[in-house]
C-alpha cells in the first residue's frame, strides 16, 4: 500500500473462457470448456467449424458455433458427409447429407453412385 493508504498495485483483467460471452481475444465462447464442439476449451474456433460474432459491442452473449459444410472435414454426428463442396447431385448435398442413391465413405472417392 502506497502513500495515504492508496493501493498502488496494478490490476490485470483477463477474459473468462467458458462463460458464454465473447470478449477480448476470444474467437468464440460457447458457455463451456469442452473441446470438439466448435469452440475449444481455450475459446478458439476449432477446425471445421465457424463461430459468428454477435452484433454490437463486446462483451456479448455468444452465438453457437456451426459446422462448415463443404470444407471437406466431416464432423461426426453432425454431418453425414462432406465432400469438399456444396454442389448437389454428387452424392453429398449442400447441407452435408447423403443424397438418394449414393453411399458415401471416407477416402479419395467420397461418394459412389449405386444403381
Contact by Cβ (8 Å): 20, 43? no
DSSP-assigned letter for residue 3: G
Q: What percent of the chain has pLDDT over 90?
A: 55
Residue 78 has, within 13 A of its CA and on its CB side, a CA count of: 13
| pLDDT given for residue 56 in this prediction | 73
DSSP-assigned letter for residue 4: G
Most confident of 15-24, 56-65, 100-109: 15-24
Mean residue pLDDT across the chain: 84
End-to-end CA distance of the chain: 82
3-state SS of 36-61 is CCCECCCCCECCCEECCCCCCCCCEE
Kindly report, residue by residue over 79-99, the tens digit of the pLDDT: 999 999 999 999 999 999 999
Q: Given pLDDT bands bounded at 50, 70 and 90, which one contains residue 15?
A: confident
| pLDDT given for residue 114 in this prediction | 40
Q: How far is CA 35 from CA 25, 30, 47, 78, 81, in A?
A: 18, 11, 11, 15, 21
Amino acid at each position: 500500500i502506497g502513500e495515504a493508504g492508496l493501493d498502488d498495485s496494478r490490476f490485470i483483467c483477463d477474459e473468462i473462457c467458458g462463460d458464454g460471452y465473447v470478449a477480448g481475444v476470444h474467437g468464440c465462447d460457447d458457455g463451456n470448456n469442452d473441446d470438439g464442439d466448435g469452440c475449444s476449451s481455450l475459446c478458439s474456433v476449432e477446425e471445421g467449424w465457424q463461430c459468428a460474432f454477435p452484433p454490437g459491442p463486446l462483451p456479448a452473449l455468444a452465438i453457437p458455433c456451426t459446422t462448415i459444410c463443404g470444407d471437406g472435414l466431416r464432423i461426426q454426428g453432425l454431418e453425414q458427409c462432406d465432400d469438399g463442396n456444396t454442389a448437389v447431385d454428387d452424392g453429398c448435398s449442400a447441407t452435408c447429407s447423403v443424397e438418394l442413391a449414393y453411399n458415401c465413405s471416407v477416402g479419395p472417392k467420397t461418394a459412389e453412385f449405386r444403381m
